[in-house]
Amino acid sequence: MLEVWQQLILLLEGVPLTLSISILSFLIGIAIGLPLAFIRVYEIEVGFVVDAYEKIFRGIPEIVLMLMFFFGLGPFFPFPFNNAFFVAVFIMGLRSGANQSQIYRGAIRGVGDEQMIAGQSVGLSKWSAIGHIMVPQVFTYSTPGLGSEYALLIKDSAYIYVIGGLNEIMTQAIRIKSIPPYDVITPFVLAAILYIVLTFPIAFSLDRWGNRRKKKIGL
């Protein structure tokens, strides 16, 4: 029988992995979602490819994708799909990219085409107007959505336990549960508390930063 504090220590050992996978996926999501959003708004010809990607990754549960890639592709392409960490970040990053693309697309509309036109009026090319004028404002505009997206990633990281081998919070909780006398309540209550602690302070400060900045620049 593990004491509560012993359980907590085991769960805390899972925190670095949960955080690093979630934050890495979030950053990959930015790197994918931001260009895709601009491609969809300004380059209509290839929009349908982006659309298909978004539908696939928003429509299929992550747990299914993780199982498919790890157990389905892993044996045939051991590099890189036999690596649990890679598969986790790969699936969560791509899923987040699909979501974030939608968030940014709304933000681009919100920031307004006039900012693009003003940028081009001073001689900037389309893509440098996007980089210098649109992107900073689009980020500010997106903050409430980005806060929820981060929260979603922290929560979804719990699915990783299905592919095994990564000692994140959920995997640790299940491991504790399987130790006699099989306490099914304490580890999950503790895990729930940990997930909340990891989610809200960051999501909240992101929102607050965004609100302040919005006020400052009148968005």
Partner 1 sequence: MTGIVMEAKNVYKTYGKNSKKADIKQVEAVKNVSLKIRKGDIKLIFGPSGSGKSTFLRCLAMLDIPDAGEIYLGDECLTKPGVDLNKARARIGFVFQHIYLFRHLTALGNVELALRRVLKLPKEEARERALAALAEVRVTDCVNKYPAQMSGGQAQRVGIARALARNPDIILLDEPTSALDPELTGEVIDTLRDLAKEGTTMLIVSHEMPFARDVAEEMIFYDEGRIVETGSPSLFFNAPNTDRAKKFMDRIIKRTTR
- Give the C-alpha separation, 207 to 163, whole Å: 33
- 42 contacts partner 1 (rule: CB under 8 A): no
Amino acid at 213: R
Sign of CA dihedral 159, 87, 195, 9: positive
- Give the C-alpha separation, 217 to 43, whole Å: 28
Q: Which residue has the tokens 């979630």?
A: 22
- 142 contacts partner 1 (rule: CB under 8 A): no
C-beta separation of 164 from 2 below 8 A: no
CB of 151 to partner 1, least distance (A): 26
Taking CB under 8 A as the criterion, which residues in 92-131 touch partner 1? 114-115, 117-125, 128
Which residue stretch of 18-26, 92-100, 136-144, 190-198 sits at the interface with partner 1 (rule: CB under 8 A)? 136-144
Residues 198-217 as x/- pattern, contact with partner 1 by CB under 8 A:
-----------------xxx
CB of 114 to partner 1, least distance (A): 5
Selected from 58, 132, 208, 212, the binder of partner 1 by CB under 8 A is 132
What backbone phi and psi angles, to 5 degrees, belong to 82? -90, -5
Residues at the interface with partner 1 (CB under 8 A): 114-115, 117-125, 128, 132-133, 136-137, 140, 215-219
